[in-house]
Structure 1
Amino acid sequence: MRPALDIISNGKYRSAQHRAITNGSRARLSVSTFHDPAKTKAISPSFEPPKYHTAIYGDYALSWYSNGPEGKRNIDALLI
């Protein structure tokens, strides 16, 4: 779940879908990086017109773990 960037960029920068393909003849190296705002910070679009509602990041992240995807992306709940 990295949609904070989706919200802040107003949908301009989207989270990449992860896909790994194994190869039995070559070693694979994976590097992951994460950027999460403080749980008490409000996240909102930086551009007009906004596509998403403002949300407290901790509440937004917690909703994913408490509700699960329910067949859709968590960010869809913040669409205007």
Structure 2
Amino acid sequence: MELNFYRIITNGKYRSAQHRAITNSSRARLSVATFHDPAKTAKISPALEPPRYREVVYGDYVLSWYTKGPEGKRNIDALLIE
């Protein structure tokens, strides 16, 4: 699941990196998971003008990950300003 809220904040300039792990059969692998999220009540909006995405409450945005979003669109696409 891509954390598209970075794309919203940067107004589409930056995208989250896709995670990809490459294993090595001769060495053990150590993974350290770290997580950071804004408060569920925080409003996420583009920092640059003119905005390409609508403002959204982060908690609502997270809940939309589990659906296809409004009108069957991906949650990030549903926030695009046309």
Q: Give a deviation string over 1:33-74, Cα, whole Å, max 9, x none.
A: 322111111100000111111111100110112x158x9743
Say whether 1:52 aligns with 2:50: no
Map 1:3-42 to 2 at 5 A.
3-42=4-43
What is the distance in 2 between the residues matched to 1:72 and 1:20?
A: 29
What is the distance in 2 between the residues matched to 1:79 and 1:68?
A: 15
TM-score by length of 1: 0.79
C-alpha displacement at 1:23, in angstroms? 1.2
Structure 2 counterpart of 1:45, one-letter code: P
Which consecutive unaligned segments of at least 5 residues does structure 1 have? Answer: none
What is the distance in 1 between the residues matched to 2:34 and 2:11?
A: 21
- Count of aligned residue pairs for this structure pair: 78
What is the distance in 2 between the residues matched to 1:32 and 1:19?
A: 13
Report the RMSD for the aligned CA atoms in angstroms.
Answer: 2.1
Secondary structure (helix, strand or coil) at the match of 1:61 reads helix
Q: Percent identity?
A: 72
What is the distance in 2 between the residues matched to 1:74 and 1:40?
A: 17
Secondary structure (helix, strand or coil) at the match of 2:21 reads coil
Secondary structure (helix, strand or coil) at the match of 2:65 reads helix
| Between 31-40 and 53-62, the greater mean CA deviation after superposition | 31-40
User: Which one has more relative contact order, counting CA pairs under 8 Å at least 6 apart?
Assistant: 1
Structure 2 counterpart of 1:19, one-letter code: R
